[in-house]
């Protein structure tokens, strides 16, 4: 869905009320401008990830605001934009005033996908193409493995529906029985680590080239088509990746100058990641090491990022669905 139009910044604590400075964003093609009751219309430096997500540099308006990411977002049935997964900008009008004043070159948008150091290519994504997620060539995913407790049939149903939207064949989706802390003497987080180890050992036993390992609260951040296209583009840009995190938290890059998908130095969250055969054993052993040292495996795992080609996809392709956690024994919404 094209994003052209006017969006009004809403209050953080009340998403039904406009923010006090009446801030608005005007989108026309690739051009984005900003205004408020305190400032005139100002054009913002913008880089597009795809048709529904982009990056903005606030420097022309306020230097301390830095750079942020926006993506299309539906909140309580209301269309809008989400800024850095925090602020909501509600859609107001189908066309912004004075769009005819925008440079003609800005009126059509060719989505851009930022390069990592692995490739200097900035070609746009293919439009209206059917990109298959599961292929064997170029180290692409052969199976999707999701970790699920037998008693969490609610999550099994949710992730099954989510994966169906990606067009993945049923026989390529494998359920990995999660280790249940109720049945053993170990903590829930250790049982979670052992579940990931079981998924990796399945992939090694089956001699698979690459798998996507998911926790059962997996939820796409973008449309299925955009997800397939972004994954295909990533593989073209980083054909020798060994691990690629679809979701992440507390991300630190090896090179701070990198934009978009890039090599990770540190990250948290093991909720969704693709792993190649060459890194499976190393990742499994790292998880075993975390258990032996009584460390949180999902923060310890990236200690091997200097030994393997570990990438983080930005914006993230997925996040954890808000739900009841059997690890924290309460409903959680990690936002990532």
pLDDT of residue 327: 67
pLDDT of residue 336: 62
Mapped to the 3 state alphabet, what secondary structure does the chain carry?
CCCCEEEEEECCCCCCCECCCCCEEEEECCEEEEEECCEEEEECCEEEEECCEEEEECCCCCHHHCEEEEEEEEECCEEEEEECCCEEEEEEECCCCCHHHCCHHHCCCCCCCCCCCCCCCCCCCCCCCCCCCECCHHHCECEEEEEECCCCHHHHHHHHHHHHCCCCCHHHEEEEECCCHHHCCCCHHHHHHHHHHHHHHHHHHCCCCEEEEEECCEEECCCHHHHHHHHHHHHHHCCCCCEEECCCEEEEECCCCCCCCEEEEEEECCCEEEEEHHHHHHHHHHHHHHHHCCCCHHHHHHHHCCCCCEEECCCCCEEECCEEECCCCEEECCCC
| Across 108-112, 171-175, 292-296, least confident range | 108-112
**pLDDT (mean) for 122-139:** 39
Residue ranges per structural domain of the chain: 5-106, 137-332
- In this prediction, residue 96 has a pLDDT band, given cuts at 50, 70 and 90, of very low
Q: What is the pTM of this model?
A: 0.61
Percentage with pLDDT > 90 across the chain: 45
pLDDT of residue 310: 96
- In this prediction, residue 140 has a pLDDT band, given cuts at 50, 70 and 90, of confident
**pLDDT (mean) for 25-32:** 88
- In this prediction, residue 114 has a pLDDT band, given cuts at 50, 70 and 90, of very low
- The tokens for 196 are 């990931």
- In this prediction, residue 13 has a pLDDT band, given cuts at 50, 70 and 90, of confident
**pLDDT (mean) for 270-277:** 95
| Across 110-119, 276-285, 298-307, least confident range | 110-119
**pLDDT (mean) for 114-138:** 36
pLDDT of residue 176: 97
pLDDT of residue 21: 85
pLDDT of residue 124: 29
Distance CA 125, CA 213 (A): 25
The answer on pLDDT for 210 being more than 50 is yes
Q: Could you tell me which CATH number the domain at 137-332 has?
A: 3.90.550.10
- The tokens for 198 are 């079981």
The answer on pLDDT for 271 being more than 50 is yes
**pLDDT (mean) for 30-45:** 86
The answer on pLDDT for 125 being more than 60 is no
């Amino acid at each position: 869905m094209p994003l052209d139009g006017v969006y009004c910044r809403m209050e953080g604590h009340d998403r039904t009320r406009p923010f006090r400075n009446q801030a608005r964003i005007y989108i026309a093609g690739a051009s984005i401008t900003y205004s408020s009751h305190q400032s005139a219309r100002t054009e913002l430096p913008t880089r597009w990830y795809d048709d529904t997500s982009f990056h903005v540099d606030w420097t022309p308006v306020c230097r301390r605001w830095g750079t942020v990411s926006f993506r299309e977002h539906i909140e309580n049935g209301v269309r809008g934009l989400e800024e850095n997964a925090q602020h909501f900008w509600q859609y107001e009008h189908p066309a912004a005033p004075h769009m005819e004043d925008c440079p003609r070159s800005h009126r059509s948008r060719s989505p851009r996908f930022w390069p990592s150091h692995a490739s200097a290519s900035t070609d746009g994504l293919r439009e209206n193409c059917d990109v298959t997620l599961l292929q064997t060539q170029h180290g692409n995913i052969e199976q999707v493995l999701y970790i699920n407790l037998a008693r969490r049939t609610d999550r099994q149903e949710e992730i099954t529906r989510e994966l169906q939207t990606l067009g993945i064949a049923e026989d390529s989706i494998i359920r990995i029985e999660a280790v249940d802390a109720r049945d053993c003497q170990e903590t829930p987080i250790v049982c979670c680590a052992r579940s990931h180890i079981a998924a990796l050992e399945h992939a090694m036993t089956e001699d698979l080239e690459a798998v996507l390992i998911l926790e059962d609260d997996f939820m796409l951040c973008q449309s299925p088509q955009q997800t397939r296209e972004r994954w295909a583009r990533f593989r073209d840009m980083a054909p020798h990746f060994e691990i690629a995190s679809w979701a992440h938290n507390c991300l630190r890059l090896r090179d701070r100058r990198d934009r978009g998908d890039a090599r990770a130095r540190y990250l948290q969250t093991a909720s969704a990641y693709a792993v190649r055969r060459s890194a499976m054993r190393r990742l499994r052993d790292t998880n075993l090491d975390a258990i032996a040292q009584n460390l949180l495996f999902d923060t310890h795992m990236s200690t091997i990022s200097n030994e393997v080609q570990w990438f983080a996809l930005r914006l993230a392709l997925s996040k954890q669905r808000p739900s009841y956690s059997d690890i924290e024994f309460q409903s959680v919404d990690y936002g990532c």
